[in-house]
Each structure stands twice: as C-alpha cells, then as structure tokens.
C-alpha cells in the first residue's frame, strides 16, 4: 500500500512586538478653581514643560511632548509623548501643584498607545 502523501508541513512565522508603539497619548484635564485667567494653548504647553523641568530637570524638559488638541473652555487636552518618556511626563503632571500661584491639579483621564482608544471613555457612561 502506497503511503499517503503527507501534506507539506505548515510554515508560519510569528512576530512578537513588545511595546512597538512609538508614542503614547494622554488625555488630561487641568482642574483650576474658578476665578482667574485660564491658560491658552501656548501657556498650557509651557505649563507642561515647566512641570517636567521642575521634576526631571533640563533633560525632562527636553522630552518631545506635543499638545495635539486643547480646549480652553474645559481645560482638557490630548498630549503625545514618546513611549520611553511616559513615566516621566505622567509623574511630572501628577506632582504639579501650582499654576501662577493658584492651586491646581492635573487629572489624567485616559492614556493609551493608540490615539483611537482615546475617543471613547467608558467612565463617562451613565446608567439610565
């Protein structure tokens, strides 16, 4: 009896990418108690850079951070940072306490390596 021809062994290739995303995106909101001027986009970026400088020095302030969108009315913004700098940026925003001698707080609402993931926030959903 002729041996049944065996199918050729399947060839597959597996690629594992660890932290392949180059940038991380953060949606943040600045909480300022009412009263007083609100920062515009340039001042907001300067605030972020000065927070980095206060905590991580000149090297931290040189971290490539971009403000992708900024809404002055709600003081919320989407920041983009290189993936290796996420911990530095996040810790700098957390430890920022004052803006122009007024108490403030940065609330990081969402963070993700994909910008699309920032479009939906399950925490804003309300039960009917």
Partner 1 sequence: MAGFADLNLPQGPDKKSLQSLLEAAAHLGYSAVALNHVIDFKEKKQEIIKPVSPSELFPSLPIVQGTSKRIKVLTRLTLVVSDPSHCNLLRSTSANIRLYDIIAVFPKTEKLFHIACTTLDVDLVCINVTEKLPFYFRRPPVNMAIDRGIYFELLYTPAIKDSTMRRYTISNAISLMQICKGKNIVISSAAERPLELRGPYDVANLGLLFGLSESEAKAAVSTNCRATMLHGETRKTACGVVYTVKKPRKVEEEETTVPACKKAKTQA
- State the residues that interact with partner 1 by CB under 8 A: 31, 33, 54-55, 87, 90-91, 93-97, 103-105, 107-108, 123, 127
Q: How far is the CB of 7 from partner 1 (least distance, A)?
A: 44
Residue number with CB closer to partner 1 (42 or 114): 114
Q: How far is the CB of 62 from partner 1 (least distance, A)?
A: 18
Residue number with CB closer to partner 1 (1 or 37): 37
Structure tokens at 39: 């920062």
């Amino acid at each position: 009896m002729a041996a049944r021809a065996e199918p050729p062994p399947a060839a597959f290739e597996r690629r594992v990418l660890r932290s392949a995303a180059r940038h991380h995106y953060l949606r943040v909101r600045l909480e300022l108690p009412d009263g007083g001027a609100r920062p515009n986009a340039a001042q907001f970026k300067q605030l972020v850079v000065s927070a980095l400088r206060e905590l991580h020095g000149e090297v931290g302030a040189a971290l490539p951070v971009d403000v992708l969108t900024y809404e002055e009315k709600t003081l919320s913004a989407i920041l983009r940072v290189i993936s290796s700098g996420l911990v530095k940026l996040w810790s700098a925003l957390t430890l920022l306490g004052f803006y122009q001698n007024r108490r403030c707080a940065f609330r990081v609402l969402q963070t993700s390596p994909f910008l699309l993931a920032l479009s939906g926030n399950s925490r804003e959903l309300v039960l009917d």
